[in-house]
Amino acid sequence: MSKLRVLFCASEVYPFAKSGGLADVAHSLPRALKDECDIEVVMPLYKFIDKEKFNIQKDSMSFSICLRKETFEVTIHRTIFEGVSYIFIASEPLSNKDYLYGTATEGYSDNSLRFSIFNHAIIELLKMKVYDIAHLNDWQSALVPLLLQEHKELETKTLFTIHNLAYQGLFPYDEYANLGIDSHYFTMDALEFYGQINFLKAAIAYANNITTVSPNYAIEILTPEFGVGLEGFLAYHKHKLSGILNGLDSKHFCASTDELIYKPFTNLSEKKENKKAYLKESGLRGINKPLFAFIGRLTEQKGMQLLEDALEAFASSNINITLLGEGDAKFSKAFEALATKHKNIYFEAAYNEALSHKIYASADFLLMPSLFEPCGLNQMISMSYGALPIVHKVGGLKDSVKSYKRFSKTAKSGYGLLFNKANSSAFINAIKEAQKLYEEKRTYNLIAKHNMSVDFSWNKSAKEYLALYKQILGAKHA
């Protein structure tokens, strides 16, 4: 039987362009599937992507897309990277910006146009070559299932993955002409959302199947607390909704081979050398004090208010806390002020891949007080680098971190500390509990060592995606 032909569509893919976890998934899932499927990845060719470094070559293929009575020229570019074939879509408004979607405070004013071009370009690719499955990700490629309604000659089936329901691609109705979609789709059961355009709804309505990036998140988004206004619409389509937990790129995040860290390690005493080097670099002091780390976007979602309260509670105490991230100015200012005042707090307001690896390799505990978390990768990265994550029991964090109190050497899961309620006192109590656990050296080491041995790779989840592709295609590929 021939291999499944899959077009994996994403607006960001590591290492070409990354703003968050989607880029990691779009990099590592196709790689995990490439032996089983004939898979190609398509993404926008942003201006800042280093064409030379990645040997991205212009293809002879080009076409134009007509939106709002204007013609947009599209050129196709290609490369092969780590054995995966990549297609890049280049077109003026999509490709001429300094960032992916906008600055930290504001999205670009022509994003509905930019990503409509991306979606229409995907349809052109589906016309040029036969693909069994188009695997779409987040709002930036969510129009494709709807556009396929107008191309019944194409037999491509669609799987849509929601990486974060909070980002829906909402635009005012007066931008409708940017979409190149007939106005009869502007209804409650398709694109309309309280008078606005909602890209995500197009995929929920018309994709053959929908996944979220963890099983628990697939359940949570059916409730008003986590549904971001789409809970009713999702409930209506829930027969095609399920969750598959993200995996880690076990090559990129591998303590024993990681070239970005001070010293690759296979045990906790070698890890200590990384901690020592990091403390020196950051100016933090006390190798025997537990090192707590936060790495991520400084947004409400990531529980930054809880983190700020915890920093105040543990300022000048007997633990070290290091933070790496950029985002809301109100949090970065508050963290900056706390770090300046207290010697046990260090804050780097940056996006820095290499530094993040060094911190994972040094931390004893990772802080993840997310208010909601579709999957989360950091908790898994930290466990594979021999740390214990402290997480709010929500979304994918609940699926991927088991309580250290139920530790079993033979289990396949990783362990950390979970707190139930998203409030500062619960989070602070969890950190105090972690402090105590750290003092019980033998127990702490046993769990940290176990975490390092757990398989967080894509092996299991890639198989689940493959099974789902086959299920979507029905008998033909069963």
Site string for ligand ADP, 279-298 (x = CB under 6 A): ----------------xxx-
Site string for ligand ADP, 44-83 (x = CB under 6 A): ----------------------------------------
Select 133 or 221, whichever has its Cβ closest to ligand ADP. Answer: 221
Site string for ligand ADP, 161-180 (x = CB under 6 A): --------------------
**In 3D, which of 300, 293, 352 has the Cα closest to residue 328?**
300
Part of the chain binding ligand ADP (CB under 6 A), chosen from 18-26, 50-58, 85-93, 200-208:
18-26
Which residues, 378 to 437, sit near ligand ADP by CB under 6 A?
378
Part of the chain binding ligand ADP (CB under 6 A), chosen from 27-35, 329-337, 375-383, 469-477:
375-383
CA atoms of 26 and 12, how far apart (whole Å)? 7
Number of residues that bind ligand ADP (CB under 6 A): 17
Part of the chain binding ligand ADP (CB under 6 A), chosen from 322-330, 401-409, 430-438, 462-470:
322-330
C-beta neighbour count of 235 within 10 angstroms: 13
Peptide bond into 172 cis (omega under 30): no
CA atoms of 220 and 357, how far apart (whole Å)? 31
- Using the structure block, give the residue that is written with the tokens 């106005």: 183
Among 352, 413, 423, 435, binds ligand ADP (CB under 6 A): 352
Q: Which tokens belong to 164?
A: 């974060």
- Using the structure block, give the residue that is written with the tokens 């976007």: 297
CB of 365 to ligand ADP, least distance (A): 16
The answer to whether residue 325 forms part of the interface with ligand ADP (CB under 6 A) is: yes
Q: Bridge-partner residues for 415, per DSSP?
A: 402
CA atoms of 265 and 256, how far apart (whole Å)? 5
CB of 355 to ligand ADP, least distance (A): 7
CB of 107 to ligand ADP, least distance (A): 16
Cα 112 to chain centroid, rounded: 21
DSSP classification of residue 385: T
Select 24 or 364, whichever has its Cβ closest to ligand ADP. Answer: 24
Part of the chain binding ligand ADP (CB under 6 A), chosen from 98-106, 228-236, 318-326, 336-344:
318-326
CB of 77 to ligand ADP, least distance (A): 25
CB of 325 to ligand ADP, least distance (A): 4
CA atoms of 314 and 406, how far apart (whole Å)? 27
Alpha-carbon distances, residue 82 vs 54, 89, 264 (angstroms): 10, 20, 22
Select 116 or 379, whichever has its Cβ closest to ligand ADP. Answer: 379
CB of 67 to ligand ADP, least distance (A): 29
Backbone angles phi, psi at 196, to 5 degrees: -105, 170
Part of the chain binding ligand ADP (CB under 6 A), chosen from 40-48, 276-284, 323-331, 428-436:
323-331
**In 3D, which of 405, 426, 454 has the Cα closest to residue 248?**
454
The answer to whether residue 324 forms part of the interface with ligand ADP (CB under 6 A) is: yes
CA atoms of 335 and 317, how far apart (whole Å)? 16
DSSP classification of residue 17: B
Q: Which tokens belong to 258?
A: 């990681």
The answer to whether residue 353 forms part of the interface with ligand ADP (CB under 6 A) is: yes
Based on its alpha-carbon atoms, the radius of gyration of the chain, rounded to whole angstroms, reads 23
On the 0-12 / 13-18 / 19+ scale of CB atoms within 10 A, 132 is buried
Part of the chain binding ligand ADP (CB under 6 A), chosen from 16-24, 86-94, 309-317, 400-408:
16-24
Enumerate binding residues for ligand ADP (CB under 6 A).
20-21, 24, 295-297, 324-326, 351-353, 356, 375-378
